[in-house]
Structure 1
Amino acid sequence: MRRRHAALLRELPVPTPFDAAALCARVAERRGRPIRLVPMAGLTGVCGMWVATDTADLIFHESDTTPPHRDHIVLHELAHLLCDHRISIPLADQARALLPDLDPDVVRRVLGRAGRAGHAGAEEREAEHLAYLIRHREAPGTTLTTRLRGALGGDSLV
């Protein structure tokens, strides 16, 4: 996993100063496939979710949270995408999170159990680890001074 993450990080166009939405836009451009960030209030049971459609990747994220937490949710879901994880939670649970007014029994009957229960835990740990590494990755030549300038928004610090 470490070698795989190191290879992914080497190729990842992380913006400086860091911006999760800008990173998603850069990844989308490189892949030639849009990534749409979709804020949603009150996601039940999850904070975020990556849904791959025929034409785009959608990253749903809890909108009623702090900006750092929102960024982490987006990075976690982006990590699932980068690692090419498929469904990490059962499709019925995804539908329930996105469409909470549907009867769970109907959702299960219609969609079935599409999850890969044996892999879900490992994939969640991998996505969490990669999200952390992305957020804390430093671009080549980045110094503490440039990180502080970016975080505090100016050149007048030094």
Structure 2
Amino acid sequence: MNWSGRLKRAKSIDQQFDRLVANLVRHGLFSSPFDMDEFLSRFQRWRGRAIRLEPMPVGGSADGLPYGMLISAAGVDVVFYMPGSTPLHREHIIAHELGHLLFDHASDLAAADLQRVLFPDLDPETVERALKRASYTTRKEREAEAFASAFLRRARYGDRAPAPNNAVTDVHSRIESAWGQGGRRGR
């Protein structure tokens, strides 16, 4: 189900994603207290498609890799997360990748990232030619991040979820614009 078109009706970006999460709640996908494994089980049944969580098989340095990665294959969506992530960070990574699923974002993973994680023994140029992929757009990443924030706000606080702090969001956006996004790419 692609929810990108539904985003345009809300007044602010935070309202847009809060509405999407409220829709997931209405469909009975959130348990109380929240449990990510239970959510994923319900989400799979609701979508009629399997989701598998896998630690990224990083056989060495993880420098430059994204924290998470989504690969949709025949009959299953695989969410990779960085091994050693804290439980809260792991949930954020999963929620971010679920955002990509819900918005039907095309998988634009950089071939170099896929090559390093999935095909460490293959020549990078061979993988690049086979995949012919580009990097994520800023819009896609912002949508997935905003969804992850709204998702986890609801998961942690339920109906008592505090309103997003627009002042903090504005400052974060200005810092990102001025300094660019450093560190890991994508997530």
- What's the TM-score once normalised by structure 1's chain length? 0.75
- The counterpart of 2:158, out of the listed 104, 116, 139, is 139
Q: CA deviation at 1:46?
A: 1.4
CA distance in 2, matches of 1:143, 1:61: 26
Q: CA deviation at 1:14?
A: 2.0
CA distance in 1, matches of 2:127, 2:57: 21
Q: Which residue of 1 aligns with 2:46?
A: 30
2:108 paired with 1:49: no
Residues 10, 122 of structure 1: alpha-carbon distance in 2 compared, 3 angstrom cutoff: same
- What's the TM-score once normalised by structure 2's chain length? 0.65
Deviates more, 1:79-88 or 1:124-133: 79-88
- The counterpart of 1:106, out of the listed 97, 116, 126, is 126
Cα RMSD between the aligned structures?
A: 2.4
The number of aligned residues is 140
**Quick one: which amino acid aligns to residue 73 of structure 1?**
I
Secondary structure in 1 matching 2:70: strand
Q: CA deviation at 1:40?
A: 2.9
2:137 paired with 1:124: no
Task: Note the alpha carbon deviations across 1:75-127, whole angstroms, 9 max, x for none.
Answer: 1111111111111323453233222232211211222x223x5x621101110
Residues 143, 53 of structure 1: alpha-carbon distance in 2 compared, 3 angstrom cutoff: closer
Q: Which residue of 2 aligns with 1:21?
A: 37
Runs of 4+ in 1 over 4 A off after TM superposition: none
The share of aligned pairs that are identical, in percent, is 36
Secondary structure in 2 matching 1:131: helix
> Please, which runs of 5 or more residues in structure 1 have no aligned partner?
145-158
Q: Which residue of 2 aligns with 1:60?
A: 80
**Quick one: which amino acid aligns to residue 31 of structure 2?**
P
Residues 20, 123 of structure 1: alpha-carbon distance in 2 compared, 3 angstrom cutoff: same
Secondary structure in 2 matching 1:139: helix
Q: Are 1:96 and 1:107, in contact at CA under 8 Å, matched by a contact in 2?
A: no
Q: Are 2:18 and 2:150, in contact at CA under 8 Å, matched by a contact in 1?
A: no
**Quick one: which amino acid aligns to residue 117 of structure 2?**
A
Q: Are 2:51 and 2:77, in contact at CA under 8 Å, matched by a contact in 1?
A: yes
> Please, which runs of 5 or more residues in structure 2 have no aligned partner?
1-6, 8-12, 163-187
